[in-house]
Amino acid sequence: MKNKTAVFAGLFLAAISISWSASGHHSFSAEFTDDPGEITGIVTRASYRNPHPRYQVEVTNADGSKESWELQGSAVTGLRNAGWDKDFVQVGDVVTVQGSLGRNGAKKLFIRGLTKANGESYPQRSTVARQRDEVYATYGKDYGYAKVNKDAPFDISGPWRNSYRFQVTVNDLEPKPVPLTPAAAEIYANTVHYDDYSLRCVAPALPRIFGAPYDMEIIDAGSHYQFIYIEHNTPRRIYMDGRQVPENYPDRPMGYSLGHWDGEELVIETTKLASGFWLDGSGLPMAGGEGTRIVERYTLAEDKLSMARVMTIYDDNYTQPLVRRRWSAREDDLLIVEHDSCDPSSYYSDILEDGTLERRLDEIL
């Protein structure tokens, strides 16, 4: 085991050499509270990489003592869309930061707002929320590429902004409390947030990716729709030609999706989903295989500039179906841009510092 650890540590030497002290890299709800905080200090380290950009800030207290604070931001794609590129915050910058405080007194902030000494700022959460609730599209404009499916009442192809009316994919499923079976409740109680595969840069898969705020592109190929989720540049095919699920099709992270138009509503049913993935960012378990079936309904607004997306999850781990609601909107001049690469170095640096490296090596190797 020691040899295995040595080899692994060598592979991540570069990542470890640029890491700094952290108490854990896991989902927001596990690492941060909803309590607000604010600090002012000098940036001493900067890492603008997925899955979470990080910064270290040295804060000087009133008595002259110094403290080191860690800042975490949302994914690179989200920050860039809000005007925060890799050069926005650099080592040596003096910044004032508002955010959500770390749990258990940890000197950490999840960034909600930031102002540099030169006056440049990153929008606070309330400003972003107002923008997300608005549709920036022109009535009557053609946003689609082409309607090929003869049964489709509308051309739904083209780019869609999934941050419209967005909410975090943690504790977003109805009903509440989540109706776990006793066996699933035990699994959930024993889940630790280092188990979140997305921190190792594994794509979130269905049904979790359905709730992501990143843009989506739809291509009408006639026999099927091609959905391309910007997060992890993930493709998905929804077959519309009346075929059945192949008996020999293996379980996969995105499953196998069959769709049809029910009047003016697109209905998609997905089966053959791989086990081991989560329903949300908190770690709600998914049975997968024959134990999971997902039904989605897409309903366009009257002006065709936005649509409601409703997902119903039927899973053997739950005593009732679970429902997730999201929305998408057209937008003038919306560009579909390849998602930035994800770098898992911070995850492995964290578990090395946390002392759980050997155990997790046994689990994944």
pLDDT tens for 291-307 read: 999 999 999 999 999 99
Predicted local distance difference test score (pLDDT) of residue 127: 54
**Is there a single domain that holds both residue 42 and residue 85?**
yes
User: Per the domain annotation, does 150 fall within a domain?
Assistant: no
Q: Domain of 18: which CATH number?
A: 2.40.50.140
Of residues 18 and 339, the one with the higher pLDDT is: 339
Q: Does the pLDDT at position 21 exceed 50? A: no
User: Per the domain annotation, does 141 fall within a domain?
Assistant: no
Q: Does the pLDDT at position 9 exceed 60? A: no
Query: Could you read off the pLDDT of 185-225 as tens digits, one per residue?
Result: 999 999 876 688 888 889 999 999 999 988 999 999 999 99
Q: Are 100 and 37 in contact (CB under 8 A)?
A: yes
**Is there a single domain that holds both residue 305 and residue 255?**
yes
User: Per the domain annotation, does 151 fall within a domain?
Assistant: no
Of residues 18 and 315, the one with the higher pLDDT is: 315
Confidence of residue 27 (pLDDT cuts 50, 70, 90): low
Predicted local distance difference test score (pLDDT) of residue 29: 63
Q: How confident is the model over 88-96, as a mean pLDDT? A: 96
**Is there a single domain that holds both residue 96 and residue 177?**
no
Query: Could you read off the pLDDT of 125-184 as tens digits, one per residue?
Result: 455 555 789 999 999 999 999 999 999 999 999 999 999 998 878 889 999 999 999 999
| Structural domain span for residue 209 | 158-329
Range of weakest confidence among 21-30, 45-54, 64-73, 283-292: 21-30
Predicted local distance difference test score (pLDDT) of residue 10: 42
Range of weakest confidence among 175-184, 249-258, 337-346: 337-346
Instruction: Please state the domain count of the chain.
Output: 2
The burial class, CB within 10 Å (0-12 / 13-18 / 19+), for 347 is buried
Query: Could you read off the pLDDT of 269-279 as tens digits, one per residue?
Result: 999 999 999 99
pTM: 0.78
Among 36, 135, 122, which residue's Cα sits nearest to residue 79?
122
**Is there a single domain that holds both residue 350 and residue 322?**
no
User: Per the domain annotation, does 152 fall within a domain?
Assistant: no
**Is there a single domain that holds both residue 190 and residue 165?**
yes
Distance CA 156, CA 326 (A): 16
Predicted local distance difference test score (pLDDT) of residue 18: 32
User: Per the domain annotation, does 335 fall within a domain?
Assistant: no
Predicted local distance difference test score (pLDDT) of residue 107: 92
User: Per the domain annotation, does 107 fall within a domain?
Assistant: yes
**Is there a single domain that holds both residue 223 and residue 305?**
yes
**Is there a single domain that holds both residue 11 and residue 49?**
yes
Averaged confidence pLDDT in the chain: 87
Q: Domain of 199: which CATH number?
A: 2.40.128
**Is there a single domain that holds both residue 84 and residue 45?**
yes
Confidence of residue 11 (pLDDT cuts 50, 70, 90): very low
Q: Are 270 and 286 in contact (CB under 8 A)?
A: no
Predicted local distance difference test score (pLDDT) of residue 124: 53
**Is there a single domain that holds both residue 274 and residue 303?**
yes
User: Per the domain annotation, does 212 fall within a domain?
Assistant: yes
**Is there a single domain that holds both residue 64 and residue 19?**
yes
Q: How confident is the model over 280-295, as a mean pLDDT? A: 96
Percent pLDDT > 90 in the chain is 63
**Is there a single domain that holds both residue 91 and residue 193?**
no
User: Per the domain annotation, does 136 fall within a domain?
Assistant: no
Predicted local distance difference test score (pLDDT) of residue 358: 78
- 3-state SS, one letter per residue, for the chain: CHHHHHHHHHHCHHHHHCCCCCCCCCCHHHHEEEEEEEEEEEEEEEECCECCCEEEEEEECCCCCEEEEEEECCCHHHHHHCCCCCCCCCCCCEEEEEEEEEHHHCCEEEEEEEEECCCCEECCHHHHHHHHCCCCCCCCCCCCCCCCCCCCCCCCCEEEECCCCCCCCCCCCECCCCCECHHHHHHHHCCCHHHCHHHHCCCCCCCHHHHCCCCEEEEECCCEEEEEECHHHEEEEEECCCCCCCCCCCCECCCEEEEEEECCEEEEEEECECCCCECCCCCCECCCECCEEEEEEEEECCCCCEEEEEEEEEECCECCCEEEEEEEECCCCCCCCCCCCECCHHHHHHHHHHCCHHHHHHHHC
Q: Are 228 and 203 in contact (CB under 8 A)?
A: no
Among 346, 338, 342, 349, which residue's Cα sits nearest to residue 50?
342
**Is there a single domain that holds both residue 219 and residue 100?**
no
